[in-house]
Amino acid sequence: MAVCGVDRPKGPPPPGAGTQLKKLLARLGIKPSPTCRCASKAQMMDYKGVDWCEENIDTITEWLREEATKRGLPFVNTAGRMLVRRAISNARKEAGRAKNTT
């Protein structure tokens, strides 16, 4: 089914870089608020996959900067990029583990 010109698989996305980024941010005490679009962006990251996330680190980092600004939190671009890279790495490791168990 196409929504707004985008074909999306049915069902929830497989855990990926978005899920991993949410986990990393939660460890820092940063969780989605009722008014943010964090969950939908994380889901989009999971749908698009780790390769897309790696190619779009600057975009994802900008999403983090925008949300930090809205929340009045300090933001350092290098730290944001490191978090995104770590989330991508964690997602790849998780996918590798899942393949080895099947």
Q: Is residue 8 part of a domain?
A: no
Q: Is residue 58 part of a domain?
A: yes
DSSP string, 42-91: HHHHHHH-HHHHHHTHHHHHHHHHHHHHHHT----HHHHHHHHHHHHHHH
For residues 51 and 97, the model is more confident at: 51
Q: Is residue 1 part of a domain?
A: no
User: Phi and psi at residue 6, in whole multiples of 5°?
Assistant: -120, 120
Tens digits of residue pLDDT in 21-78: 999 999 999 998 888 899 999 999 999 999 999 999 999 999 999 999 999 999 999 9
Q: Is residue 61 part of a domain?
A: yes
Q: Is residue 2 part of a domain?
A: no
- Residue 102 pLDDT grade (very low, low, confident, very high; cuts 50, 70, 90): low
Residue 20's domain spans which residues? 14-28+36-100
